[in-house]
Structure formats: structure tokens, C-alpha cells
Amino acid sequence: MNVSLIRSSFDALRPHAPLLVDRFYATLFERYPQVRPLFAHVDLPRQKQMLTQALSLLVANLENPDVLKSYLAQLGAKHVRYGARDAHYDAVGECLLAAMAEVAGPIWNAELEREWTETYGAVASLMKAGAAMTVVL
């Protein structure tokens, strides 16, 4: 993982965070309308803010695996309670990267796509591990 490339690209995206998360959710609901019920009782503006905060925390801690493992395992466990399943992670990754590419415009390239795909894959794996340790009652 090229940490400096992930950080510099996120720094370029950060001023456009509201647009990024708006495009992410619009794309997710458009491509995967079956996930919309998972958000039926969600305060979407608050959810968008939490996504921005989660991305910021992730990027800030790329070199702190203990922080990321703990945070992402907890996040994965939390998402089980919302009805998230393993298959949803692929949809989220696809739509998040699509939104990033759209918002980044001309700075987005194959190398960024590759780095963010790898990064998201690691994030999803850690969240799934946390989810797998959760018992839904």
C-alpha cells in the first residue's frame, strides 16, 4: 500500500467530502436499491458525517495497524446490527471508489484506483472479521 499516495489523494478529496459522500450514497442506492431498507431508520445527514469521519480516521491511521484493527472490528460488529452482510461490502467498495473517481476528476488514475481498491479490501476484511465475531440476538 502506498500510504503517501492514499493520503495525498484523500487530502485532495477532503474539501469535497460532502459531495463525495452524497455521490457515494446516490450511487449505492442507484446500483443496489436492495440496500435502501438498511437505511430506513438512519439519519442520513448524520450517517454521511460519520462516513467522512471514518474515512479520515482510516487515512490518519494507515500506519497504525492496532488502531485500525480495533476500530474496524468494532465498526464491522456494529454494522451487523444494522443488517449488513458480507455481500454488502463489495457493493460499498464499488460505489465508494466510483464516487471517489467522479469527485477526484482528472487526478484519478489507474494507480489511485489500484491503491484505493487494495486499501478498501483491507478495510472490508477487518470489518468482516469483526462482524464474524458478533452474535446477533
Model pLDDT for residues 1-14, shown as the tens digit of each residue: 899 999 999 999 99
pLDDT of residue 93: 96
The pTM assigned to this predicted structure is 0.91
CA 2 to chain centre: 18
Cell of 71: 476500530
Instruction: List, for residues 85-117, the tens digit of each pLDDT value.
Output: 888 999 999 999 999 999 999 999 999 999 999
Q: Does 134 score more than 80 pLDDT?
A: no
Is residue 121 within 8 A of residue 94, CB to CB? The reply is no
Classify residue 32 as exposed, middle or buried by CB count within 10 Å of its CB (0-12, 13-18, 19+): middle
Asked if residues 72 and 125 have their Cβ atoms less than 8 Å apart, the reply is no
Using the Cα atoms of residue 12, residue 127, residue 29 and residue 51 in order, give the sign of their dihedral.
Answer: negative
pLDDT tens track for 43-95: 999 999 999 999 999 999 999 999 999 999 999 999 888 888 888 999 999 99
Cβ neighbours of residue 36 closer than 8 Å, sequence gap 6 or more: 29
Q: Output DSSP code: residue 33.
A: G
Grid cell for residue 80: 451487523
Q: Which residue has the higher pLDDT, 42 or 18?
A: 18
| All domains of the chain in start order, with CATH | 3-132 (1.10.490.10)
pLDDT of residue 136: 52
